[in-house]
Amino acid sequence: MTKVTKRDGTVVDFNKQKIIDALLKAMIRTEIGIDTNIAENIAKQVITNIKDREKVDIENIQDEVVTALMSSKRKDVAVEYIGHREVRSLKRRERSCLDKKVQGLLYLTDTEVMSENSNKDSQTIPTQRDLLAGIMAKDFAQAYMIPKRVVKAHNNGDIHQHDQDYSPYFPSFNCMLIDLREMLENGFKLGNAQIETPKSITTAAAVTAQIIAQVSSHIYGGNTINEIDKVLAPYVTKSFIKHFRTGMEWLYNADFKYIQSLEISVDSLELASRFPRCYDYAMRLTEKETVDAFQSLEYEINTLVSANGQTPFSTFGFGRGTTWEERQIQKAILKNRIRGLGKEGKTPVFPKLIFALEDGVNLKPEDINYDIKKLAIKCSTLRMYPDILSVPKVKEVTGSFKNPMGCRSFLGQYIENEKEIHNGRFNMGVTTINLPRLAIKANGSESEFYELLDEMLDVCKEALMYRIERLKGVKAKVAPILYMEGATGARLQAEDTIDHLLDNDRSSISLGYIGVHETVLSLFGNHIFDDLVLRQKGINIVKYLSNKAAQWKAETGYGFSLYSTPAESLCYRFCKLDEEQFGVIKGITDKGYYTNSFHLDVNKKTSPFEKIIFEKDYPQYASGGFISYCEFDALVNNPEALEAVWDFAYERVPYFGTNTPVDKCLECGFEGEFEATVMGFKCPNCENRNPKTSSVIRRCCGYLSEPSQRPFNKGKQNEVVSRVKHK
């Protein structure tokens, strides 16, 4: 008698009648109905195929049933049988792994789920609802949507198919540059309201906050207002005109017709000389209104919660504008950030601020905006932001100047109708490859590493093409704010597809990577920083990935790019899976995290200048996403040192951030840097660990977070503890 191993591990005698009963139940659900002879014959055929086996799994028996049905005249029964089998499989999965995750979330015991994103407060109902929906969506996507080879590679830890809780279940994309100028100039519909062009900077800022909230609820990554100082400058002008007219009425008793006949502008020397009191009045009120408008905008962003339960991940890029209006916006952004939030002056996490450095604009003392550079330096010493962009290096690496989308994702150059376009473009998603795992498998063989890399890159391409296919054919009506109201620069009709927004580099699709440091260490047994030959080996790996992305781009016509994955939770996930499979390997799996993309190992003691030089050659190959940053002691009393580092970075890397101590204890008044431990953060003065009476700010990846309120995952916390200062 053949024995059957059931799914729970128990062993029972084979029972022919159970096959017949299952077939009859499937037949009932068909149009033709029951045929007992066919059910009997199928059961006999299965017996014939397994009769020589002493033991067989239940899955093997069901496979035999399906094979027999497909070769019979009742393929309609096979469809019902397979469908019922899949439903049962899904229910079992829900009762096991899925049920465990759901309970872990509801009872706040699954720390991995709760801390996967430090921008999400997993204690709140909106976030828990989003996480719960994400668990279910990811499970369904893996079972029925994502290609099986991709699912297997993801679950094994060979690759990471990002954001499966949103994509592919929903036809959503990653991050974008919002076309704010188009929306404000041409108007748009938001909910039930038709929004016209704003008449002041106050209204423009308020509308901007609502646009950011709406966009954030329709995508799963970050959004950026590219060169916000230039985009919103016209509304500062409108406020000036409004205040000047009021001044004319009250200070000069001018009548309405005369006021309306004046050509009013900020740079009018005639107005300034003819009506000096009114001109000064309008200038002062406009400056105050601009500061107030951006204070409101900052508060709104930090109090908004998008549909996915998190603060909108927003970035403001600015710095190149040189008109009075553009300068006022730059100053307003920086002054408000320096002031901080609330009576305690806490450091805001969002919006991320990026200041563009450009020779002839703000780099040197003789430049028109040098004073704003000095203000930006002061802000960075107090609040970590702004990060900086080197305008010439960004152009060199990406083909044109633009800000990153959210954290670090960059678009390439795109020209349409002989016009260069940046705003409105987006990234369709990321798949990241686990480089250290391939190196471990290669066991010191560089040639074997590249063979394994090619195999896994083929899986990555399939994963990325699936992301594209999921967006093709999508109709504009699924996200009106994006496709019908101008956020992507498009004004499509409800039934139009978005396909043309995906083609020819208009949008990007990214291959990500992690752990160049651990990869080189595993392959060659030495630290990459200490050997010029090994430094080149690391660059060669990234260059190889870049060439592969370029090859895919040429083959498909889609905007494939190489992206230096931030790896907030992935630094932990990959390392944990590899430790489980390969054991504890010194310097690789023993730390609890993998190093972010191409970065220097966080515990390497070196100067900021050496770190910048070490990382400077990578962005040209990883042009789809990159950032470099250094760790410093407090620089509040030494802004000249920060300026020296900024100027050094300007010549060498396109995108640079500064990490300085900005923590605050509300119990003892300490300001500086809390001690980072594996259990969290504590005040070095009074040992306060209470998140309600402390403000701890750390750079998670490319953006800041507040881990005292929303803790990092275990791996990221280990990485933070390991960080050393660059002196």
Supply the residues annotated as catalytic.
Answer: 174-175, 405, 407, 409, 427, 563, 568, 702
Measured CA to CA, the distance from residue 561 to residue 511 in angstroms comes to: 6
Measured CA to CA, the distance from residue 471 to residue 481 in angstroms comes to: 16
CA 453: distance to chain centroid?
25
Query: Is the Cβ–Cβ distance between 120 and 309 less than 8 Å?
Result: yes
Q: How many CB atoms lie within 10 A of CB 427?
A: 27
- Which amino acid is it at 94? E
Measured CA to CA, the distance from residue 609 to residue 656 in angstroms comes to: 12
Query: Is the Cβ–Cβ distance between 627 and 655 less than 8 Å?
Result: yes
Measured CA to CA, the distance from residue 568 to residue 552 in angstroms comes to: 27
Tokens linked to 259: 């006021």
Positive or negative, the CA dihedral 24, 30, 34, 38 is negative
CB contact set of 651 (below 8 Å; sequence gap of 6+): 390, 393
Measured CA to CA, the distance from residue 523 to residue 457 in angstroms comes to: 19
Measured CA to CA, the distance from residue 251 to residue 233 in angstroms comes to: 26
Query: Is the Cβ–Cβ distance between 334 and 241 less than 8 Å?
Result: no
Tally DSSP H helices, then E strands, for the chain: 26, 25
DSSP 663-696: EEETTT--EE-PEEETTEEE-TTT----GGGEE-
**Which residue from 569, 565, 572, 574 is spatially nearest to 542, judged by alpha carbons?**
565
Phi, psi of 415 (to 5 degrees): -120, 130
Q: How many CB atoms lie within 10 A of CB 288?
A: 13
CB contact set of 479 (below 8 Å; sequence gap of 6+): 172, 218
Phi, psi of 508 (to 5 degrees): -115, 160
Query: Is the Cβ–Cβ distance between 436 and 593 less than 8 Å?
Result: no
- Which amino acid is it at 576? K
Query: Is the Cβ–Cβ distance between 140 and 188 less than 8 Å?
Result: no
> Could you report how far apart the first and last alpha carbons of the chain are, in Å?
75
**Which residue from 619, 634, 646 is spatially nearest to 319, judged by alpha carbons?**
646
Measured CA to CA, the distance from residue 708 to residue 262 in angstroms comes to: 55
**Which residue from 432, 394, 435, 431 is spatially nearest to 538, judged by alpha carbons?**
435
Tokens linked to 443: 């066991």
Crossing angle for the helix pair 58-70 and 16-28, to the nearest 10 degrees: 50
Tokens linked to 274: 């003819």
Give strand pairing partners of 193.
190
Measured CA to CA, the distance from residue 463 to residue 330 in angstroms comes to: 41
